[in-house]
Amino acid sequence: MMTAVKNDGPPVFYKRKIFDAEDPMYEGTFAVDFVVPPNTDVDDSLPIRTTYFSEKEFDGIASLDTRPIILYNARATWDCRQTVKWLRKKFPNRPLFGIGFSLGANILTNYVAEEGDKCELKAAVVISNPWNLESGSLALQRTWLGREIYSKTMGGNMKRLLALHHDEVSKNPKLDFEKINNVQYLHEFDREVQGPTWGYPTEGAYYRDASSTDSLFSVKIPFFAINAEDDPIASKEALPYQEVQKNPYTVLCTTSLGGHLSWFELGGGRWHSRPAINFLNNMAFNVKLPAPAVANGEERFGRNHVSEFIPMRRKLVYRSE
């Protein structure tokens, strides 16, 4: 609530670059926004204080692209992986750190886990990670505030995003736009759009596959998580206390209050930025870590495999001696 009524935060300026998807299982492009010095450039087609990089600014490659942009998937990590590899090539001698917020924190957790001890990131911070997406969805539906404010708002935002790309999305024969038009809540959007698009039979199957709780067991870099126990989206019951205790690389900091990405203080500041910055500064200047091996992580999901849902793929594998 406070986020909606408070004054705008410090002005941050961005420039956007469009990347071609390199993963052969995906077709299309994705956008990455880079923080840049303040400027007076304006592009009405983009968010405030955001413009495209020019060809001269970025290796002679145009940033504006008319090819299809891929609809996000909470389980997909290929774009994160491609971006990190690009950054490592662009800045070979600089330490790279990752920070993710909300669903982005969930995606970052899965990415770091997939890379294991070959992760190109030196350390990572995740803030307000929902962890168990199915648990969080059910928690939202249990209360009027969660259902009618949070879930309805997020569902409406996703419908508007879909409308912006209607010409492209409408080519998907698996989508029923009559049902999509009646969507009100986020879980309904995931049922009618994300499930058919990515091959999940139900939104629950999508949530369980995309969740990052079990991924913590495979994290092999310093990893700092911050959650509030009163978070209406990343519910307390989903917090991975036991999983964190099993991995010496991971630390979970919880607070009794703070909401979802809030932690407001007197004067309008937000508390969570301080521990996150302290952790990253320590990793950057006080901790020496070995250089990673060549990254070879891979996600177990692809756009061209949308019709193949394998319900047992995350179960324990039994071996016969």
Mean pLDDT of the chain: 84
Alpha carbon distance 75, 78 (integer Å): 9
SS3 label, residue 20:
strand
Q: Tell me whether residue 135 is one of the annotated catalytic residues.
A: no
**Domain residues of the chain, as ranges?**
11-70, 135-209
Task: Categorize the per-residue pLDDT at 245 as very low, low, confident or very high, splitting at 50, 70 and 90.
Answer: very high
Q: Tell me whether residue 137 is one of the annotated catalytic residues.
A: no
Q: Which of 23, 190, 209, 231 is catalytic?
A: 231
Q: Tell me whether residue 102 is one of the annotated catalytic residues.
A: yes
pTM for the structure as a whole: 0.84
Say if CB 262 and CB 228 are below 8 A apart: yes
SS3 label, residue 250:
strand
Q: Which of 211, 212, 215, 260 is catalytic?
A: 260
Q: Which of 102, 214, 230, 262 is catalytic?
A: 102
Q: What is the pLDDT of residues 115-167, one digit of tens each?
A: 999 999 999 999 999 999 999 999 999 999 999 999 999 999 999 988 888 88
Q: Give the pairing of strands 223-228 and 123-127.
A: parallel
